[in-house]
Every structure is written in structure tokens, then in C-alpha cells.
Amino acid sequence: MTDGALKVEVWRGAERGAFQSFSVPRRQNQTVLDVVTEIQREQDPTLSYRFACRVGMCGSCAMVVNGRPRWTCRTRVSEAASAEGALRLEPLRNFAVVKDLVVDMAQFFDKWRDAHGYFAPAARPPADFAVVPPATPARQAADAAIECIGCGVCYSACDVVAWDKDYLGPAALNRAWTLVNDVRDAGQAARLAAVAGDDGCQCCHTHMSCTSFCPKAIAPTYSIAGLKRSLFWQALKGGTR
Amino acid sequence: MTAALFLAQRISAMVLALAVAVHLATILYAIHGGLTAADILARTHGNLGFFLFYSVFVAAVAFHAPIGLRNVIREWTSWRGPSLDAVLAAVAVALLVLGMRAVIAVYVA
């Protein structure tokens, strides 16, 4: 369907607000981000939303589209619209709404820090480059989880985050898992302790919403399962409290 | 959940997976065999194997159930902190005492 008008309901306001209806011309190969941009440029310049790269690299344009969290720049209207050709756009769930479709990502990224989702170098620089053969299991495990763009779709989809605001969440734990598999990293004990807290990896219920919705086809559920396994053996050895 | 609780939860779950299966199979066997209470007590009385098996079973329950309850309460309510841990430690002790009381009663009967 490329003719006619698309009925678009867009969330306006912050935590409190209402849906505003727009009618947007239907175009060929139109993405959901195209629709939002057209509304903002042609109909209502006060509409706030966030985007940067438009090609699925930056992770800034995620929204809830017809109930599903998605990256809007790589989501065509044809695959997201309802049978009646309507779109309902909301800000990501589990985030504080700043305005309209813009959410506050601060808590989301604070949790990456809390999960030690960063490289911890050794006290002294290594004498030479670390050789990490691509075929090693650790490197392959890291590879499987490394392409995260930090869009927040998994965090928006996660049931556990919805009922426990302190849960570290799939993205932060996925990042931690890539570093658990980094043979150069010198902060492993502290990282496992960080992801083992009362709001850590053990809270995951394996609902797999993160894995189902991740636009990069990453499986944070498997990363979290890996953390649980690492934690189990580490705890058995008495390595973490 | 701390790593120690996580470990205790997982290991007790492994024990329970086996123990519950044996327990259920034993119940089915006893019922289908038409054993009376007196017959059962005659078999359990002074049976060290029975005593050890159910002692392990009770210990696993005493670990597993309160940790699971703690997770459920933390997820569904805002109850946190030492008061929650103290109450669930009491639940653990109660399960251990009640369970072992039953095991000992059947062992010495």
C-alpha cells in the first residue's frame, strides 16, 4: 500500500499526556522514522523525538510502535502498521519520558557502569599485544554479543525491569558478558560481584523479550545465562560473596 | 540475590529434582502396593537410609523455599533489607525444625 493517508497517533507530553492524531501521506519504502520526521517538519514543529544516523548504527531512534519496541529508522511502515494502516507511536517503556517520544537514557547507561560494562585494564600495560584467536570460545561468545548499539529496545521490552526498577537489565548485562569473555580484562572478580547483586543477572526470568525484540539480533538472554554460569562456578570456588 | 544465595538456590534445586522424584515414586509405590500406615512405619523405623535421604531432602527444602520466597517478595513488593532476610531466615529454621521433627518421628516410631 503506497497510496492514501496513514493515520498516526503520537504520544504527546511526558509521564502524563495524551495521544495526538496526525494524517501522513503514505509513501513508498517509508520508514516509521520518516513518518515522525514528516510530522515534525510539516505539521507540528513542537513534536520532540530523537534520531541521528538513520541507518541503524546509533541506537537513538527507538520507540514503541504499535505496542512493540523497535528501531524506527530501520522499520518500514509496511511491516509495522496495523491491518487498517494505522500507527501508534509511544516513547520506550521502562524509561522516564522527557517529552513526547524522547526518553531519559541516564538510568539505562548508569546501569552499564554499575554492571562494570567497561574494560578494566591491568595495573601495568602488557609487554605486547594480546593475541586473541577468532576461533576461541571466549572470543566467539564476545562476538555474539558485541554489536549492541545501546538503543534501549531490550530494556523497554524487559518484564523484570518493569517490575524491578533497580534490575540492571539486558543491555548492561549483555555488555558485562562481552567483557567477561575479554581475556585482556583485569577486572573480572569485581565485575562478577557487580552483576551478582540483588538486582543482577539472577533476576532474569528468561522470558526472552530482549532477545525477541533486539533489532541487532543479539540474544541478551544467552549472555545473562552465561553470566549466571560464570557466577555459579566463581561462587563455588569462593570467589564472590 | 547475592552469589551465595544464588549458589545455594541452584544446588538445592539440583538436590530437590532428584529427591522429589524419589519421594513421589515412593509414595506411588506405597499406595499402589496397598501398604498401611503401620506397614510404612515398620519399614521406616530404624532405617538409616530413609533417615539420611529425608534429612537431605528437608535441608534442601529449608534452603530452597525461603530463597525463592525472598525473590518473589522482592519482585512483587517493596519489602527489602534486614527485616525481610530475618523473617525468611526464620522461615528456613521453621522448615528445618518441622521437617526434621517429622523425619525423626517416623524414624524412631
- Considering only CB atoms, which chain B residues are within 8 Å of A203? 1, 71, 75
**With bands split at pLDDT 50, 70 and 90, how would you rate the model's confidence at A239?**
low
Query: What is the domain range of residue B49?
Result: 3-108
- How many structural domains does chain B have? 1
Cell 552469589, located at residue: B3
User: How far B86 CA lies from chain A's nearest CA (Å)?
Assistant: 16
The answer to whether residue A240 scores a pLDDT higher than 60 is no
The predicted model scores a pTM of 0.89
Among candidate residues B86, B74, B63, B83, the one with its CA nearest the CA of residue B5: B63
> What number is the ipTM of this complex?
0.78
All domains of chain A, ordered by start, with CATH?
5-103 (3.10.20.30), 105-236 (1.10.1060.10)
The answer to whether residue B59 scores a pLDDT higher than 50 is yes
CATH number at residue B15: 1.20.1300
> Cα-flanking dihedrals φ and ψ of residue A6, to 5°?
-105, 130
CB within 8 Å: A203 and B10: no
Calculate the CA A128 to chain-centre distance: 35
Among candidate residues A105, A110, A113, A10, the one with its CA nearest the CA of residue A58: A105
User: What local confidence, expressed as pLDDT, does residue A241 receive?
Assistant: 47
Selected for mutation to probe chain A from B75, B76, B79, B84 (highest A CB count within 10 Å) is B75
The C-alpha atoms of residue A133 and residue A122 are separated, in whole angstroms, by: 20
Q: What is the largest distance, in Å, between two alpha-carbon atoms of chain A?
A: 65
User: How far A10 CA lies from chain B's nearest CA (Å)?
Assistant: 31
- Interface residues of A toward B, Cβ cutoff 8 Å, are 160, 163-164, 192-193, 196-198, 200, 202-203, 228, 231-232, 234-236, 240-241
